[in-house]
């Protein structure tokens, strides 16, 4: 992207939104880096499997920055970024990773099943594509109740191999549901490159047969993600139906855990270096500094405040109690 294109994008995004998006991406990055360190600690403080969001921060941030509090977001096994971008409390999230009673899922969900209804994140699931039909059901409810709200579902490129993905595209388009389907294409489905999973890797084009809009955006450019998401969300609010967004991005670490997995021969160091050089946070930071939207002092203050907030979250999680035996059947329901 040249400087003229950068200037046009910057002018399309309010200054306060740019500041907030930068802080949100830094918050996700710092949180995830500390989680990685804790996973590597010999103390084994965190034992729940963690699928870290490092490298993909611009997608959750750009989309959620265009949403309102009443809008719903549905997440995946790689859930931390979505939780934070939607406004979730760091203490509650960290406590959940420690499986403590004060966690956002009361210590019963762990990393892959975070939830916080107060911020509009009813849940996340480790089932690939599992939250897509739930997001559609929510959008259908919004429509039937005449609520001016939008449902957003995040999913990875692996979900494009699931039948429910295509069934959901059809139903969403048929009923013109206020739902945005956001594919975070990080080029790998667990341990397989996308080219080994899909005959046609242009996921956004799969919307065409269902007569709904589809678009592919640079998932490492938070301004581009925000602008595209804002347009799609506004269309959904005004009864124009769903949109499929494919955000091209990359996870720096392996599918799960704190390692880069280069020793497994799944990807090359050259590929990883290429994407790390396209760090979404550094890209935005450079633009904000060059355009005088943020000073170096402001940048340092943001990072310092976030680091302190993350450390406070760790202390809170460490000091919180584990669920007791009599908590086993609380916060659950059964069909009668």
Over the stretch 200-239, which tens digit does the pLDDT of each residue have? 999 999 999 999 999 999 999 999 999 999 999 999 999 9
Q: Is residue 333 part of a domain?
A: no
- Residue 276 belongs to what domain range? 3-318
Structure tokens that stand for 174 in this block: 């048929």
pLDDT-derived band of residue 4, with 50, 70 and 90 as boundaries?
low
| Residue that wins the pLDDT comparison between 146 and 336 | 146
23 contacts: CB under 8 Å, gap ≥ 6: 302, 306
Over the stretch 139-189, which tens digit does the pLDDT of each residue have? 999 999 999 999 999 999 999 999 999 999 999 999 999 999 999 999 998
The position carrying tokens 């996921």 is 203
Q: Is residue 328 part of a domain?
A: no
Q: Is residue 326 part of a domain?
A: no
Strand order of the sheet with strand 123-124? Answer: 123-124, 72-75, 151-156, 179-185, 243-248, 214-218
- pLDDT value at residue 336: 63
Q: Is residue 236 part of a domain?
A: yes
CATH of residue 225: 3.40.50.970
How far CA 154 is from CA of 146, 158, 184, in Å, comes to 24, 12, 7
Q: Is residue 331 part of a domain?
A: no
Q: Is residue 182 part of a domain?
A: yes
Query: CA–CA separation, 10 vs 285, rounded Å?
Result: 12
- pTM score, whole prediction: 0.94
How far CA 126 is from CA of 50, 111, 123, in Å, comes to 11, 10, 10
How far CA 298 is from CA of 33, 180, 322, in Å, comes to 21, 34, 38
When the pLDDT of each residue in the chain is averaged and rounded to a whole number, the result is: 94
- pLDDT value at residue 124: 92
Q: Is residue 296 part of a domain?
A: yes
Query: CA–CA separation, 155 vs 151, rounded Å?
Result: 13
Q: Is residue 323 part of a domain?
A: no
Overall domain count for the chain: 1
């Amino acid at each position: 992207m040249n400087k003229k294109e950068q200037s046009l994008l910057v002018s399309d995004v309010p200054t306060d939104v740019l500041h907030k998006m930068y802080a949100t991406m830094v918050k996700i990055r710092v949180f995830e880096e500390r989680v990685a360190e804790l996973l590597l600690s010999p103390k084994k403080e965190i034992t729940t499997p963690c699928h870290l969001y490092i490298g993909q921060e611009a997608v959750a941030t750009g989309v959620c920055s265009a949403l309102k509090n009443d809008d719903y977001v549905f997440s995946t096994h790689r859930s931390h970024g979505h939780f934070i971008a939607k406004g979730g409390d760091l203490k509650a999230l960290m406590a959940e990773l420690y499986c403590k009673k004060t966690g956002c899922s009361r210590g019963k969900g762990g990393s892959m099943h975070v939830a916080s209804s107060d911020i509009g994140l009813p849940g996340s699931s480790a089932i690939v594509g599992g939250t897509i039909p739930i997001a559609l059901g929510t959008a259908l409810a919004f429509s039937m109740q005449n609520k001016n709200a939008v449902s957003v579902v995040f999913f990875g490129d692996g979900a494009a191999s699931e039948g429910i993905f295509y069934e959901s595209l059809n139903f969403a388009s048929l009923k013109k549901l206020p739902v945005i389907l956001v594919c975070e294409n990080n080029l790998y489905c667990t341990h397989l490159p996308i080219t080994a999973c899909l005959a046609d890797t242009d996921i956004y084009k799969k919307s065409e047969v269902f007569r709904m809009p589809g678009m592919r955006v640079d998932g490492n450019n938070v301004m581009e993600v925000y602008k595209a998401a804002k347009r799609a969300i506004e269309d959904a609010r005004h009864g124009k139906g769903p949109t499929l967004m494919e955000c091209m991005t990359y996870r720096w670490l392996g599918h799960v855990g704190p390692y880069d997995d280069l020793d497994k021969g799944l990807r090359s160091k050259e590929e990883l270096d290429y994407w790390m050089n396209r760090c979404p946070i550094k890209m935005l930071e450079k633009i904000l500094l060059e355009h005088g939207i943020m000073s170096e002092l402001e940048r340092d203050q943001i990072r310092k405040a976030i680091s302190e907030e993350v450390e406070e979250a760790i202390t809170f999680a460490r000091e919180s109690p584990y669920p007791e035996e009599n908590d086993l059947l609380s916060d659950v329901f059964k069909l009668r």
